[in-house]
Amino acid sequence: MKKTLCLPVLSLLTLLLLSSMAAHADEAMDLSQGQTVYVPAYSHIYVGNREKPFLLTITLSIRNIDAKHPVTITAADYYDTKGKRIRRYLEQPVSLGPWESIRYVVPQKDRSGGSGANFVVEWKSGKAVNPLLVEAIMIGAESQQGISFTSRGQVISTAN
């Protein structure tokens, strides 16, 4: 009798687990024809009690993770802590083929962004595609001390 009670319970648990996995798989496959992506970045961070600036090199990495379709990057702008645009990296749109990536670098000596710097990246596609993977990689070394970390972009608007 115990076996007959356990089998339906196990079947129900398995069904719930599989439907939960399917729901997560659907979420991961949200396709888009374009987005605006906000990417936190840091031209420096503060260390020690005196809040000494530790300068960092920033690499903005933009990756087309769609296996079949190209995308067009229409803007890659760098902003400072106060929200003022410092630099436009694109004079004209740039196309990225499947699996292709592009990067833009803010040199370590460039303090203009500050600790609240950010990028805004805009892209579009003629077809619904996997959204881009957009990250900032910060790295710095000074006096035999090194630091590196990343921040991932956050979608702030989607093309209609």
Q: What is the side-by-side order of every strand in the sheet holding 145-152? A: 101-106, 57-63, 133-142, 145-152
For 99-158, how does the pLDDT look when each residue is reduced to its tens digit (9 = 90+)?
Answer: 999 999 999 999 999 999 999 999 999 999 999 999 999 999 988 889 999 999 999 999
- For residues 117 and 78, the answer to whether their CB atoms sit within 8 Å is yes
d(CA 50, CA 55): 15
Q: What local confidence, expressed as pLDDT, does residue 26 receive?
A: 45
**pLDDT, tens digit (0-9, with 9 covering 90-100), for 44-83:** 998 888 888 999 999 999 999 999 999 999 999 999 999 9
Q: Name, in order, each residue with C-beta under 8 angstroms of 5's C-beta and a sequence gap of 6 or more.
A: none
CB 84 within 8 Å of CB 140: no
CATH code assigned to 32-158: 2.60.290.11
Q: For the chain, what is the mean pLDDT?
A: 87
CA 132 to mean position of chain CA atoms: 8
Chain segment 4-44, per-residue pLDDT in tens:
545 555 454 455 555 555 544 445 569 999 999 999 999 99
User: Judging by DSSP bridges, how do beta strands 71-79 and 32-40 pair with one another?
Assistant: unpaired
Structure pTM? 0.79
Q: How far apart are the first and last CA of the chain?
A: 57
Annotated domain spans of the chain: 1-30, 32-158
Local structure of 25: helix, strand or coil: helix
Closest listed residue to residue 65, CA positions, set 91, 100, 94: 100
